[in-house]
Structure 1
Amino acid sequence: MNYDCVRIFFTPENLRTDWNIADYGIDFDFMEFNDRHCRFPVGFIRGDRDKIMKRHLIGDEEINNKIKYNKFCAFMVSNSKPPTSDMRDMCFELLSEYKKVDSGGLFRNNVGGRIGNKLEWLKDYKFHLCFENSTYPGYLTEKLFDAFSAGCVPIYWGDTSLRISLDSENDHIESHCTKGGGGNFSHQYVNIDMTIPRIPKHLIEYHLNPKAFINAHNFPTLRDLIEEIKRMDNDHEAYKAMLREPVFLDNFNPFIEQENKLKSFLESICSQEPKNAFRRGEAIHLTDHRTRMEKNYNLPHLLKYYKLAKKINNILSWRTIPRDLIKKYKLK
């Protein structure tokens, strides 16, 4: 922020580009902004691509061994800061009431320590509870692809655009349903966002196969989602059928296309003279905005806000103690 240069904003998190301080942005948003924006889900640079694309070619013997010998469900989260983590935390608790869910991250670890090689560890499980830390149309990280790569059935929540209607005749993807379910008086009745976002069709560059994973956004409440997981766990034929589904529709491999798109975007920027590559405005109100942002990005300010956030997070963490104590004594 202290350099008057061409600025390219990149984020692996659910954040928006601030076009007042950045010339270019690489994020998750479905949008067009001349040559300034590139949508690039970071999941496309993670995982074993070959295994992901050939996942549906799994043999009968391997599937039968997975059903017979593999553990139930894996969960790996290391950073948990409320309120964004509440949904996956609640789902973990509810699913653990059915069968033990092994947690290999720092958060709720119950396997004796943090797991080093995530993909190798996931291979021993039938399901992978892979919730994003928040939900937003297009926000797709490595979590879903890691599950595919390891041969698990993903239980996914996060990118609401994966609910798009593939047979819509309209220019935009229409919303067919909204949030449903009961009241929020219990974890099991917590609503899941079932909204199908309106996204121009030409911005949708790939289609994940909805039959290849359990999409939490297809269910109105966590209770309904848990019931579907139970059904899949006990219906071996349904489980086999899901594992045999290709990850992407129409035999399309988006990995190379996404990489080439990012490469072209960066080459277009770097091939220009620096003075010609600037895109952010220089109006008075924009200059004032940047000055305020640069002030807030100074290290002392960051440390101040970090310490405050840490205190708030510590206070919020106390809210789980009564619930945990009740569960503990119930088990006794």
Structure 2
Amino acid sequence: MDVLGEALAPNLNLFDYHIGFDAPDDDGRLLCMSYLFDLRMKLKDLHTMNPDDALCGKDGFCNYIYSHGLGHPYRIQLFSELSAYKKVDAIGKHLNNTPCLIPREAEDWLAGSVLLKKPYKFSIACENSWYRRYTTEKIITSFLACTVPVYWGNPLVEEEYNPKAFINCHRYSSLKEVVAEIKRIDEDEALWKAMMAEPRRLPWQIEREQEKKDKFNAELMKIFTSPVEHVRKRGDGLWMNNYRNFFTDKMTMKKEDDRKKLKSALKEWNKRLFPRF
């Protein structure tokens, strides 16, 4: 079984099942992960908050909290474009321009990131990748801090969260349009409060999430309580076995040589499949 918390497509030649962000398949081999279910459920309590209370004490404009710059360039570009309008506080290690009182290595980083975001009206909540259904905790912690998330990453994010409660960068044709929308809301207190008054998740989204979690638990229970021969899904034969053996051997490489050897391994495998090219 393959379990991934990042934006990577499943490789069902190597594994019988995959737990990740991809939609379930007809054969039951793709299980949709719901590891953020309990954290998302906390968003229900925010709907009763008075927007005036949410705005109280917010003396910061926008935060940017990332430990490295290896993610998709969109979020760095967003930081740059938005900083031309007003200072964006980079609290993490990447592009740092503001002291961080809670280190990334803190025991409860999720709670810590909420505290760091609380003094701000907006939070840059961009994923490290563009990938369908890949939504992590970044938008949730931004909601919990009573900020307006500026989200990018999962183009289907509005299936999970109320589009009136955050700024979905996927709705805009350029970064300049995104910044213009942030500026419009920033300069109109009533607009910001209206977004804060919106439920972060709609009833149908919460209901569907519960259904997904129940289905996931049932499928997982079935897999681990059934005889192996009944739940085995991988194929067996010449190319599938060669493929698995090939990548199993390559995955035992020492870390310092991983990149060079894996690149070479992929070229070698490509030559095996397409000897004429």
Q: After TM superposition, is the score higher than 0.5?
A: yes
CA distance in 1, matches of 2:22, 2:34: 9
Q: Does 1:158 align with 2:158?
A: no
CA distance in 2, matches of 1:262, 1:241: 35
Instruction: Pick closer, same or farther for the CA change 1:219–1:274 going to 2, 3 Å.
Output: same
Give the conservation status (yes or no) of the 8 Å contact 2:52–2:193. Answer: no
Aligned equivalent of 2:179: 226
The structural deviation recorded for 1:78 is 1.2
Q: Does 1:39 align with 2:32?
A: yes
Q: 1:12 aligns with which of 5, 14, 28?
A: 5
Instruction: Pick closer, same or farther for the CA change 1:11–1:308 going to 2, 3 Å.
Output: same
Matches within 5 A, 1:1-332: 8-40=1-33, 42-45=35-38, 47=39, 49-50=41-42, 52-66=43-57, 69-81=58-70, 84-113=71-100, 115-116=102-103, 117-162=112-157, 207-250=160-203, 252-254=205-207, 256-300=210-254, 302-306=255-259
Give the conservation status (yes or no) of the 8 Å contact 2:51–2:197. Answer: no
Cα RMSD over matched residues?
A: 2.2
The structural deviation recorded for 1:161 is 1.2
CA distance in 2, matches of 1:70, 1:41: 34
The alignment partner of 2:84 has SS state of helix
- The runs of 5 or more residues in structure 2 that have no matched partner are 104-111, 263-277
Q: What TM-score results when the alignment is normalised by the length of structure 1?
A: 0.70
The alignment partner of 1:130 has SS state of strand
Instruction: Pick closer, same or farther for the CA change 1:114–1:64 going to 2, 3 Å.
Output: closer
Calculate percent identity across the aligned residue pairs. 30
The structural deviation recorded for 1:64 is 4.1
Aligned equivalent of 2:267: none
Aligned equivalent of 1:175: none
Task: Kindly provide the amino acid, as one letter, of the partner of residue 12 in structure 2.
Answer: W
The structural deviation recorded for 1:231 is 0.5
CA distance in 1, matches of 2:14, 2:76: 35
CA distance in 1, matches of 2:240, 2:101: 45
CA distance in 1, matches of 2:211, 2:118: 28
Task: Kindly provide the amino acid, as one letter, of the partner of residue 230 in structure 2.
Answer: N
Give the conservation status (yes or no) of the 8 Å contact 2:148–2:167. Answer: yes
Give the conservation status (yes or no) of the 8 Å contact 1:104–1:115. Answer: no
The structural deviation recorded for 1:243 is 0.7
Instruction: Pick closer, same or farther for the CA change 1:103–1:261 going to 2, 3 Å.
Output: farther
- The runs of 5 or more residues in structure 1 that have no matched partner are 1-7, 164-205, 310-332
CA distance in 1, matches of 2:202, 2:41: 15
